[in-house]
Amino acid sequence: MSDQRRPYARDAGLLVVAFVATFILLAGIVVAVNSRPPIDSAASGSPGPSQPSAAPASPTASPASSDPDPSGDASPTVSSSSSSLEPPGEDPVLVGAGDIAHCSHEEDEATAKLLDDIPGTVFAAGDLAYGSGTERQFRDCYGPTWGRHLERTRPVPGNHDYDTDEGRPYREYFGDAALGPDDETWYSFDLGTWHIVMLDSNCSHVDCEEESDQVRWLIDDLAASDAECTAAIFHHPRFSSGFHGQDRDVAPFWDVLYEAGADVVINGHDHDYERFAPQDPDANEDREAGLRQFVVGTGGVPLRDFEETAANSELRAIASHGVLKFTLRDGGYDWEFIATSGPFSDRGSAACH
């Protein structure tokens, strides 16, 4: 009987040995798998320890005014993003602002960053280097920000640009781009199918009267142009709801521009954004032949609140610094105020006369 049990005992022992060996083998496989290096993160879709995360986007400058609410009869269009680069062959772009650089403030860097992403011709609507338009202020305040677009900038002088040596640093900084054929501080150029006149509204330094050299030049220049559409840029606004208010010294400019059928006037001086309905030189609304005026003193210096609302003011805002972009179409134009921060924007389109 004992001899018959031996084969069964031997078989049972072999089964125990096989089971133990199998267990040891499986345990070794588990250890080997757990000790393998991780799969490359690019393939797995998750960042590995050797791949740094992307740097966060730089914040934009905050507006100088804490008042976020535009006022006016027309509601603004709200947009949370600025315009992007346009493909070659599109209609020409004119973009800019006035009242720009001060070494004690950083908002001009924020508006200059907007220009970095917008192609076209840059206009600088006066008071470009605060507080006195010195060589150092043009070099160290304006130069590092808007100055990086110097080669495509067409400026006009503001009152602060005349504070040093009758505007000599301004003229030297911009050179021929700021001067007419006889070195006057007024000139004109064509942009696509548009004619752009750049005037000097510092009437305590240059004559702006009806019989002045500048106004006679303006009459002749407009008469010689065959452009269907015309825009004028000068620092001081004829009409304004801002701190400085209306400037009657530039009325002769308006008289000539209106008579010639010009379409758009762009100014600075008041540190705000304001858009007017088309109007005649006497502030009568004129949708058929009137000039549409924009005040865009939002280039970088601190913004200021509005005073008494001027006639025909359609929109007023101190929500943010920013630039005003015009797309100059054949027979018309589109405008867009692009803010450095916040959702405020103002957009529209119009036909030329």
Q: How confident is the model at residue 227 (pLDDT cuts 50, 70, 90)?
A: very high
Across the range 182-201, mean pLDDT stands at 98
Tell me the CA distances in angstroms from 295 to 10, 48, 179, 180, 315, one per residue in order. 105, 52, 23, 24, 10
What pLDDT was estimated at residue 121?
98
What pLDDT was estimated at residue 37?
35
What pLDDT was estimated at residue 112?
98
Specify the amino acid at residue 48.
G
Distance CA 180, CA 161 (A): 17
Q: Which helix (H) or strand (E) holds 234?
A: none
**13-22, 168-177, 255-264: segment of lowest average pLDDT:** 13-22
pLDDT tens, residue by residue, 317-330: 999 999 999 999 99
Q: What kind of architecture, by CATH, is found in domain 93-351? A: 4-Layer Sandwich (3.60)
Helix (H, G, I), strand (E, B) or coil at 156: strand
Domain ranges (residues) in the chain: 1-30, 93-351
Q: What are 338's two structure tokens?
A: 């692009």
What pLDDT was estimated at residue 202?
98
Residue 3 has pLDDT above 80, yes or no: no
Q: Which residues pair with 348 in a beta bridge?
A: 335
Residue 25 has pLDDT above 90, yes or no: no
What pLDDT was estimated at residue 19?
52
Q: What are the DSSP calls for 322-340, one per residue?
A: EEEEEEEETTEEEEEEEES
Place of tokens 């840029």: 233
Residue 39 has pLDDT above 50, yes or no: no
Q: What are the DSSP calls for 170-203, one per residue?
A: HHHHHGGGG--TTS-S-EEEEETTEEEEE----T
What pLDDT was estimated at residue 53?
30
Tell me the CA distances in angstroms from 273 to 29, 70, 285, 313, 323, one per residue in order. 73, 9, 20, 11, 10
Q: Which residues contact residue 336 at a Cβ distance below 8 angstroms, ignoring those fewer than 6 apart?
A: 83, 324, 325, 327, 345, 346, 347
Q: How confident is the model at residue 88 (pLDDT cuts 50, 70, 90)?
A: low
**40-54, 65-79, 186-200, 279-293: segment of lowest average pLDDT:** 40-54
pLDDT tens, residue by residue, 124-152: 999 999 999 999 999 999 999 999 999 99
Give the global pTM.
0.77
Residue 145, classified by CB atoms within 10 Å of its CB into exposed (0-12), middle (13-18) or buried (19+), is buried
Tell me the CA distances in angstroms from 106 to 10, 60, 113, 122, one per residue in order. 91, 10, 11, 19
Q: How confident is the model at residue 55 (pLDDT cuts 50, 70, 90)?
A: very low
